[in-house]
Amino acid sequence: MNTMILLNTIMPGQVVLEYSYLLSAIMFVIGLKLQSHPETARKGNFWAASGMILPMITTLLLNKDVAGEGISLTNAAVVILIIAAGSVVGAIMARKVKMTAMPQMVSFFNATGGAASATVALIEFNKDPNNAVLVTLLGLVVGSIAFSGSMIAYGKLDGKVGDIFAKFMTYLNLFFMIVIVALILLVLFGGFDVATSKYIVYGLLVLSLVYGVSFVMPIGGADMPVVISLLNSLTGIAAAMAGFIYQNEAMILGGILVGAAGTILTIQMCRAMNRSLINVIVGAFGGGGASAVDVQGSIKEISLSDAAVLMSYSQKIVIIPGYGLAVAQAQHIAHELDSLLEGKGVEVKYAIHPVAGRMPGHMNVLLAEADVPYEKLVEMDDINPDMSNVDVAIVVGANDVVNPAAYDDPGSPIYGMPIIDAHLAKNIIIMKRGMGKGYAGIENFLFFNDKTRMLFGDAKSSISKLVSEIKSM
């Protein structure tokens, strides 16, 4: 009887709204599942985007306040106008951005999400400073960190902001974290008057923005995959906090899913780089190091003609791409090379390290843009058992992710980091502009391997010349 009375008191529109949130959550989960594989990632994006559009529409049309009033026509017009403007700007940016600049765009979009969540929290606090709750303050702090950190990441990836690494920054970041927690506790339990609480909260806002800058500034560009993943998870958490503020299940579920997925990915990538999550949070990440082992051997070069002959008469070739491939924009010519070799009966695959490039999945996206078949992209754990059977490993712009120091040098900053076992291949060709070091600031032992030959020059130019050589054979 009580259940029937309860059902009758719920407005039909409210029932539809709640079911739309449930359906939205299901669509988010389906989207995430489909995005776990490159072949279905596009469909996954469609499902996830649809899962976001649905609650936006139903909330706009059906949501009621405590008094049973819906959104006014004026407010609805403003919301629709803002959504339309954001959609147009986002579509233009997405269409114009180059694949090599995709990490920058991801960071920029992530920053806007953090800023939106922090703004929501600040507005809600100003409405009633006496009733500040934990979710409001967490939304403000996490959203602010995600915003400023993502903007610095954008600047670093775009070459507009340099690296600033100093040992004291680790302790400075720890100090910021302690002060932020202390300020949150002060607001919640200090019993201050409204004016004092506002000063503390605005100080918290400024400190959070500063911390977002300070923990990203020491990070080298090559370490950005982990940082972008972490910042993405922070934006999801901030969105969930905003959902709790507005008691909106769709925002809560969407934020939790993004935050959880981003956190899991961050932890996996930390493992792939032999780092702990706390290293990232306090900025003690990406610093240079010195090898404790003297590198033995000498650098040996290979000519274009010899490289062309070696590749043409091989049975198995593995191409190992890194950020240098993206910088040189050599993905299309690399695909032309692998197609040409396959025409000669050579089996060609691409070995993908989890943190190759500047964002999670960067190499997958880059090679997919060049129409490299998905089945040719093989993850590190799947390719390593077969590396000893590979005739030629071609390293294009990768460095630390193939450095055997991860196995051989206990004093190395990358010791214990999982790598692609290029050193097990029968022959190794490394394409680089010069003898530059990777993010760890140490020599790459692979350069001095007896089986290694260096092919110096711009990756795009070198591969183009190789294609011409092979075609003339």
**pLDDT tens sequence across 174-197:** 899 999 999 999 988 888 888 888
How far apart are alpha carbons 282 and 174 in whole angstroms? 6
When pLDDT is averaged across residues 36-54 and rounded to a whole number, the result is 86
pLDDT bin (cut points 50, 70, 90) of residue 144 is very high
How far apart are alpha carbons 15 and 394 in whole angstroms? 59
When pLDDT is averaged across residues 149-162 and rounded to a whole number, the result is 85
Please name each of the domains of the chain with its CATH number.
Answer: 102-287 (no CATH), 304-472 (3.40.50.1220)
Name the residue with higher pLDDT: 167 or 340.
340
Kindly report, residue by residue over 80-125, the tens digit of the pLDDT: 998 899 889 988 988 888 766 778 888 899 999 999 999 999 998 9
Within 10 angstroms of residue 458's Cβ, the number of other Cβ atoms is 16
Mean pLDDT computed over every residue of the chain: 84
Residue 400 designated active-site: yes
Q: What are phi and psi of 34, to 5 degrees?
A: -70, -30
Pairing of strands 452-456, 347-352: unpaired
- Token duo for residue 263: 């956190």
Q: Position of tokens 């650098």?
A: 299
Q: What is the DSSP string of 102-169?
A: HHHHHHHHHHHHHHHHHHHHHHHHHH-GGG--HHHHHHHHHHHHHHHHHHHHHHHHTTSS-----THH
pLDDT bin (cut points 50, 70, 90) of residue 436 is low
pLDDT bin (cut points 50, 70, 90) of residue 11 is low
pLDDT bin (cut points 50, 70, 90) of residue 294 is low
Residue 5 has pLDDT above 60, yes or no: no
| Percentage with pLDDT > 90 across the chain | 37
How far apart are alpha carbons 272 and 450 in whole angstroms? 27
> Which candidate, 154, 82, 144, places its Cα nearest to that of 115?
144
When pLDDT is averaged across residues 437-466 and rounded to a whole number, the result is 84
Of 206-215, 248-257, 330-339, 432-441, least confident by mean pLDDT is: 432-441
Kindly report, residue by residue over 361-378, the tens digit of the pLDDT: 788 888 888 889 888 999
pLDDT of residue 297: 65
When pLDDT is averaged across residues 260-285 and rounded to a whole number, the result is 74
Residue 2 has pLDDT above 60, yes or no: no
Residue 27 has pLDDT above 70, yes or no: yes
Residue 323 has pLDDT above 90, yes or no: no
Burial class (CB in 10 A: 0-12, 13-18, 19+), 98: exposed
Q: What is the DSSP string of 213-245?
A: HHHHTT--GGGHHHHHHHHHHHHHHHHHHHHHH
> Which candidate, 122, 183, 117, 121, places its Cα nearest to that of 150?
117
Kindly report, residue by residue over 218-268, the tens digit of the pLDDT: 876 556 778 888 899 999 999 999 888 888 888 898 899 889 988 888 888
When pLDDT is averaged across residues 388-412 and rounded to a whole number, the result is 87
Residue 271 has pLDDT above 50, yes or no: yes
- Token duo for residue 105: 């765009």
- Token duo for residue 187: 């607001």
pLDDT bin (cut points 50, 70, 90) of residue 67 is low
CB 359 within 8 A of CB 102: yes
How far apart are alpha carbons 361 and 268 in whole angstroms? 13
When pLDDT is averaged across residues 448-452 and rounded to a whole number, the result is 91
- Token duo for residue 348: 């060609």
Q: Is the pTM of the predicted complex or chain greater than 0.85?
A: no
Catalytic hit among 306, 381, 382, 400: 400
pLDDT of residue 179: 95
